[in-house]
Structure 1
Amino acid sequence: MKAKESKRKYSHRLDKFLTFKEFQGSIEERCLKLYDFSKNNFELLQLYLVRFINSQKERIDNREISEGTLHNYIKAIKLFLTMNDIVIN
């Protein structure tokens, strides 16, 4: 990503998942923790992703966020995983 604003938005969106997963530290530290966790706990990562998506779907049902917001959260997570060669089914 070249644009600073895009980087900021993706970081903020990824942060939602990192917060949900309860990683502690700076955004960089939490991303590193997610990377390490992903490499060692593939199936558990999938479970957390499903739980995160379901919790966000509840927020959609409660009209707290829009479907587009959830889509953007997923795009940020997917980009992080893709950039770090982490494949999920």
Structure 2
Amino acid sequence: MEEYPIELQHMGARIRAIRKHRGLKLLDLEDSTGIFDSEISRIERGLVKVEVQTVYRIAKALGVEIKDIFDYNGPLPTSEK
């Protein structure tokens, strides 16, 4: 099995944390991004390489700026942008 950088795991964990903080399910993100929930799950677990465009689509669906996805230790965004 191919190993993925720790950064992908951090990014995925951050996406999951924001999604749960927003009270969204994987299917909610699927509906708003057009990305299958199974793919989003793999992204959240850091199991796939992700294009910037995909991260942008997820950030937009979560109502955050893309920089919030990469602010691993920052507070969870409180308001939608």
What TM-score results when the alignment is normalised by the length of structure 2? 0.34
Larger of the two Rg values belongs to structure: 1
The normalised TM-score by structure 1 is: 0.31
